[in-house]
């Protein structure tokens, strides 16, 4: 009975959602964590939109705030010592204003999540069929039999061979790739309109990565879902995202349609990320261009452009005032840089970044944070 | 300067090596089978390591003790409280299979009825601990925060109180009866259960699969019962069995000190006590031997079963 009620409620939600405009609107989202050292501003004023059926790639290195961003959108933050402000509007509903009871009707049914590590995201002591069936019963009000047969269909659709048998298997009996397929089946069970995939292939080896991403893309096409693909690997989103957001130190530093981003990179950080991807065309023995230094301390970020301490083109202006997100020419290509690249080349001379200088900057910030 | 234009094209057309390898369901299945050693190519689970003779002996022994304690009134036993003064301190014989004590009571009958006390105190006491301590531990480990801090503090206060002093005080105050002893020892196990189950629950509370269940719309109650509890059960069962054994020993100790069920009601503990009185240990050792031997075998059986079950529950680590 409870399941039916919930099913009814979530359907109601589906109808009530405004069908016009983007599916997800994030406006000026801030998420900070209070720690003993000070406030960590993990997400610092992020805005973007995702349209129905489209794919958005969120790219950034470790510590850039991309995972916190995805959890902030979902509303999956720890209950204490977190400050979140800004707007997350999903299908016309304000997610930030919802309490847990309301969110539970959206989670899984309308908005679901695929986790990074399929080894830990499945309950080790429950059969995979049961784990898939749970949300079907909860949101769609299916009975046990119906849910099980739907679970088998879902397993088949994610490419698991002989699903009638495997539905009774435990996660430990499956390989990593298979488990991630099961995770996808769980996330897609109730036909959500938006799926957040947080590094969905990081825990898998390269051959399986491509299969999983292709599977996700196929299912997305079939079901007309929007996908947010969070990754540290520009290569992963290059062929799969419609738009890409590049994050650095909790901020969006560049945002553009995928093709534009690759053909007309404006921000030196994006450029540096691209240069750090190994390329088949490189001669053997070629060294990868790593980005010197580490991301800044988010308790006390550097004044001016946050990438300046690591940027080979940084000028005095970069270190003094923070560049706003702006456009030049094309309105949907935004970037935050005082001296954007033109045709992939900087207009100012490059100064080699010394690692010690950037580390000094970081440790200086730490000391101030402690005081 | 490498050209970025080729990055996009490379990735989309033929960049990733994987795209060139035709990955079919058959290949997947091969990979699947290679990576799951618990499963043979036909998909049948492999036979698990057998429990062994000792395990089944232990199960058999416990079953006999439990069954005879439950059915004691139906069994052709003599009255455990009837003292036959013409047959004191008899050695085992046809009339008295295990002999008689210094009041001429049949030791077999006393042993069987005495088992009731040990089993009730052990299992009911642990049940009390599980219901209260287990529930509190599950919630405390999952929720964390102030509730956790408060429950933690309470558990430490109970643990810090010397249990034997509490038992002596309460027994003196309320009188010794099976109900009182069971409740007291049950309450004493609550903080132990709480701590063990809380620790286990805590270790699962932040796992991805719990967050994943949350993102699928599961309520907190559902997460505790359906996601965390199944993972905690192995620890629960193992620890409960060990605690049952512990409580039986404690009841025996209390009975030995004359603080458990009042005489003439037999319990293994007071039987041992009687077996040591009046130098009986040197003249008629079986009076003490039987309850001591049965208590030893019962505790050994419970601990062995607990240990084997723990090994069986560890199957996931075993195959990975």
Q: What is the pLDDT along chain A (371 residues), one digit of tens a residue?
A: 333 333 444 434 444 444 567 889 999 999 999 888 888 888 888 999 999 889 999 998 888 888 889 889 888 887 778 888 888 998 888 888 888 888 888 888 889 988 888 778 888 888 888 888 888 888 888 888 888 998 998 888 888 888 888 888 888 888 888 888 898 888 888 889 999 998 888 777 888 888 888 888 888 988 889 999 998 888 888 888 999 999 998 889 999 999 888 888 888 888 888 888 777 777 777 777 778 777 888 888 888 888 888 888 888 888 888 888 888 878 888 888 888 888 777 777 777 665 544 444 443 333 333 33
Option in B19, B215, B227 nearest A113 (CB): B215
For residue A221, give its domain range: 2-248
Instruction: Note whether A173 contacts B25, CB cutoff 8 Å.
Output: no
**CA pair distance B164, B159, nearest whole angstrom:** 12
Are residue A53 and residue A143 in the same domain, yes or no?
yes
- Each residue of A350-370: b (16+ CB within 10 Å) or e? eeebeeeebeebbeebeeebe
Residue A180 lies in a domain: yes
Pick the residue with more confidence: B51 or A158?
A: A158
Residue A280 contacts residue B15 (beta carbons within 8 Å): yes
User: Given pLDDT bands bounded at 50, 70 and 90, which one contains residue B2?
Assistant: very low
Same domain, A188 and A53: yes
B319/chain A closest Cα distance in angstroms: 8
Are residues A149 and A241 located together in one domain of the fold?
yes
Taking the CA of residue A345 and the nearest CA in chain B, the distance in Å comes to 10
> Does residue B44 lie in a domain region?
no
Q: Which residue has the higher pLDDT, A343 or B230?
A: B230
Q: Which of B280, B241, B243, B277 is nearest to B258 (CA)?
A: B277
Examine the domain organization and report whether A175 and A310 are in the same domain.
no
Dihedral sign, Cα of residue B239, residue B242, residue B248, residue B250: negative
A367 in reach of chain B (CB within 8 A): no
* A84, β-bridge pairs: A31
Q: Kindly state whether residues A86 and A201 are assigned to the same domain.
A: yes
Statement to judge: residues A221 and A87 lie in one domain:
yes
Tell me which residues of chain A, numbers 182 to 211, contact chain B at a CB-CB cutoff of 8 Å.
Answer: 183, 186-187, 189, 206-211
Which residue does chain A place closest to B16, by CA atoms? Answer: A210
Q: Are residues A8 and A121 in the same domain?
A: yes
B267/chain A closest Cα distance in angstroms: 41
Spatial distance between the Cα atoms of A120 and A195, rounded to a whole number of angstroms: 19
* B207 contacts A134? CB cut-off 8 A: no
In a domain, A254, yes or no: no
Q: Which of A248, A280, A301 represents a domain boundary (last residue)?
A: A248
How many structural domains compose chain B? 1
Phi, psi of A246 (to 5 degrees): -105, 125
Q: Where are the beta strands (DSSP E) in chain A?
A: 24-35, 38-50, 55-59, 82-90, 93-94, 111-114, 194-198, 226-231, 243-248, 251-257, 326-327, 334-335
Residue (of A105, A132, A116, A146) closest to A5 by Cα position:
A105
CA distance A10 to A8: 6
Same domain, A164 and A18: yes
Q: For residue B303, what is the domain's CATH number?
A: 1.10.3720.10
Alpha-carbon gap: B14 to the closest alpha carbon of chain A (Å): 10
Q: Does A120 touch chain B (CB under 8 A)?
A: yes
Q: What is the pLDDT of residue B18?
A: 39
Q: Cβ contacts (< 8 Å) between A189 and chain B: which residues?
A: 216
Statement to judge: residues A82 and A9 lie in one domain: yes
Interface of B with A in 116-135 (CB under 8 A): none
Residues of chain A in contact with residue B30, where contact means CB-CB under 8 angstroms, are none
Residue B272 in any domain: the answer is yes
Report yes or no on A278 lying in a domain: no
User: Are the C-beta atoms of A246 and A273 separated by less than 8 Å?
Assistant: yes
Answer whether residue B20 is part of any domain.
no
Q: Name the pairing type of β-strands A326-327 and A334-335.
A: antiparallel
Residue B199, in any domain of the structure: yes
In terms of domains, do A148 and A77 share one?
yes
Q: B264 touching A, CB under 8 A?
A: no
Residue ending a domain, among A248, A282, A310, is A248
- Residues A318, A199, single domain; the answer is no
Q: Which residues pair with A245 in a beta bridge?
A: A58, A255
Contact at 8 Å (CB) between A67 and A230?
yes
Angstroms from A108 CA to nearest CA on chain B? 4
Q: Which of A8-22, B186-200, B209-223, B293-307 has the highest mean pLDDT?
A: B186-200
The answer to whether residue B279 sits within a structural domain is: yes
**B28-42 burial string, b = 16+ CB within 10 Å, else e?**
bbebbeeebebbeee
Q: Is the pLDDT of residue B34 over 80?
A: no
Q: Tokens for A291?
A: 């980005």
Q: Is residue A172 part of a domain?
A: yes
A346 touches chain B (CB under 8 A): no
The CA-atom distances, in angstroms, between B297 and each of A80, A135, B124, B235, B291 are 51, 48, 20, 23, 10
| Contact criterion met (CB below 8 Å) for A158 and A182 | yes
Measure the CA–CA gap between B175 and B294, rounded to whole angstroms. 27
Burial class (CB in 10 A: 0-12, 13-18, 19+), A183: buried
Domain limit, last residue, from A218, A248, A278: A248
Helix (H, G, I), strand (E, B) or coil at A230: strand
Residue A283: burial class (beta carbons within 10 Å; 0-12, 13-18, 19+) = exposed
Please tell me the total count of domains within chain A.
Answer: 2
Residue B91 contacts A where some CB pair is shorter than 8 Å: no
Closest chain B residue to A181, measured at CA: B28
Same domain, A160 and A47: yes
CA A348 → CA A263, A267, B81, B185, distances in Å? 20, 13, 104, 79
pLDDT at A2: 34
Contact list, B15 vs chain A (CB under 8 Å): 235, 280
Residue-level pLDDT at B257: 81
Is the CA virtual torsion A67, A73, A74, A80 positive or negative?
A: positive
Question: Would residue A134 count as lying in a domain?
Answer: yes
Quote the CA–CA distance of A181 and A172 in Å, as a whole number: 14
For residue B113, is it within any domain? yes
The pLDDT mean for chain B works out to: 77
Contact B32 A175 (CB under 8 A): yes
A45: in domain: yes
Question: Does the residue B120 lie in any domain?
Answer: yes
CATH number at residue A221: 3.40.50.300
In a domain, A276, yes or no: no
Domain limits for position B232: 53-76+105-319
Does residue B91 lie within any of the structural domains? Answer: no
- The pLDDT of residue A57 is 92
Is residue A177 within 8 A of residue A158, CB to CB? The reply is no
Q: Is residue A11 a contact partner of residue A104, using CB atoms and an 8 Å limit?
A: no
Q: CB A116 to CB B208 under 8 A? A: yes
User: Chain A contact for B44, CB < 8 A?
Assistant: no
Q: Quick check: B235 contacting A, CB < 8 Å?
A: no
pLDDT per residue as tens digits for the range B237-246: 888 888 888 8
Task: Determine how many CB atoms are found less than 10 A away from the CB of residue A345.
Answer: 9
What are the backbone dihedrals phi and psi of residue A30, each rounded to the nearest 5 degrees, phi first?
-120, 135
Per-residue pLDDT, averaged over B39-54, amounts to: 62
Show which of residues 145-164 on chain A sit within 8 Å of chain B, judged by CB atoms: 159, 161-162
Is there a contact between A299 and A39 (Cβ–Cβ < 8 Å)? yes
Which residues of B fall within a CB distance of 8 Å from A8? Answer: none
Give B37's pLDDT tier (boundaries 50, 70, 90): very low
């Amino acid at each position: 009975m409870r399941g039916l009620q919930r099913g009814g409620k979530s359907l109601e939600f589906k109808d009530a959602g405004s069908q016009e405009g983007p599916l997800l609107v994030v406006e000026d989202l801030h998420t900070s964590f209070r720690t003993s050292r000070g406030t960590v501003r993990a997400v610092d004023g992020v805005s973007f939109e995702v349209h129905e059926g489209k794919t958005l790639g969120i790219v950034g290195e470790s510590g850039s705030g991309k995972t916190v961003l995805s959890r902030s959108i979902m509303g999956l933050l720890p209950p204490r010592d977190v400050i979140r402000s800004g707007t997350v509007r999903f299908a016309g509903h304000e997610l930030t204003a919802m309490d847990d009871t309301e969110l539970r009707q959206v989670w899984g049914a309308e908005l679901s999540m695929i986790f990074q590590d399929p080894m830990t995201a499945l309950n080790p002591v429950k059969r995979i069929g049961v784990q898939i069936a749970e949300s079907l019963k909860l949101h769609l009000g299916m009975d046990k039999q119906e849910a099980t047969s739907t679970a088998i269909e879902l397993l088949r659709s994610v490419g698991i061979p002989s699903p009638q048998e495997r539905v009774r298997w435990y996660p430990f009996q499956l390989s990593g790739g298979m488990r991630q397929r099961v995770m996808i089946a769980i996330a897609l069970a109730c036909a959500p309109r938006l799926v957040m995939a947080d590094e969905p292939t990081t825990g898998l080896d390269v051959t399986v990565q491509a299969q999983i991403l292709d599977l996700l893309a196929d299912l997305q096409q079939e079901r007309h879902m929007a996908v947010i693909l969070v990754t540290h690997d520009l290569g992963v989103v290059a062929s799969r995202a419609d738009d890409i957001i590049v994050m650095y130190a909790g901020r969006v530093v560049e945002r553009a349609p995928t093709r534009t981003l690759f053909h007309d990179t404006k921000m030196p950080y994006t450029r540096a990320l691209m240069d750090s991807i190994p390329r088949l065309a490189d001669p053997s023995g070629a060294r990868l261009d790593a980005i010197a230094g580490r991301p800044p301390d988010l308790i006390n970020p550097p004044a001016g452009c946050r990438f300046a301490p690591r940027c080979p083109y940084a000028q005095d202006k970069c270190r003094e005032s923070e560049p706003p997100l702006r456009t030049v020419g094309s309105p949907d290509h935004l970037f935050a840089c005082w001296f954007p690249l033109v045709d992939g080349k900087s207009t100012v001379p490059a100064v080699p970044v010394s690692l010690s200088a950037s580390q000094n900057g970081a440790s200086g910030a730490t000391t101030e944070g402690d005081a | 300067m490498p050209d970025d234009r080729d990055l996009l094209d490379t990735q989309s057309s033929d960049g990733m090596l994987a795209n060139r390898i035709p990955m079919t369901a058959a290949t997947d299945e091969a990979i699947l089978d290679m990576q799951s050693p618990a499963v043979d190519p036909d998909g049948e689970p492999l036979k698990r390591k057998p429990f062994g003779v000792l395990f089944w002996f232990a199960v058999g022994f416990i079953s006999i003790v439990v069954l005879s304690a439950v059915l004691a009134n139906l069994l052709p036993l003599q009255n455990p409280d009837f003292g036959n003064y013409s047959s004191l301190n008899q050695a085992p014989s046809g009339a008295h299979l295990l002999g008689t004590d210094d009041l001429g009571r049949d030791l077999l009958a006393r042993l069987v009825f005495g088992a009731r006390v040990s089993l009730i105190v052990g299992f009911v006491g642990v049940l009390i601990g599980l219901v209260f301590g287990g529930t509190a531990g599950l919630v405390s480990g999952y929720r964390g925060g102030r509730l956790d801090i408060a429950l933690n503090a309470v558990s430490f206060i109970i643990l810090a109180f010397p249990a034997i002093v509490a038992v002596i005080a309460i027994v003196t105050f309320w009188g010794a009866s099976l109900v009182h002893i069971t409740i007291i020892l049950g309450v004493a196990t609550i903080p132990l259960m709480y701590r063990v189950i809380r620790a286990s629950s805590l270790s699962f509370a932040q796992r991805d699969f719990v967050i994943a269940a949350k993102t699928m719309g599961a309520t907190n109650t559902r997460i505790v019962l359906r996601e965390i509890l199944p993972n905690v059960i192995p620890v629960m069962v193992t620890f409960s069995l060990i605690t049952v054994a512990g409580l039986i020993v404690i009841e025996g100790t209390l009975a030995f000190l004359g603080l458990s069920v009042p005489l003439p009601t037999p319990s293994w503990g007071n039987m041992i006590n009687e077996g040591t009185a009046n130098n009986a240990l040197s003249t008629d050792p079986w009076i003490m031997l039987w309850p001591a031997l049965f208590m030893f075998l019962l505790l050994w059986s419970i601990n062995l079963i607990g240990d084997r079950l723990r090994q069986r529950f560890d199957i996931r680590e075993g195959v990975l």
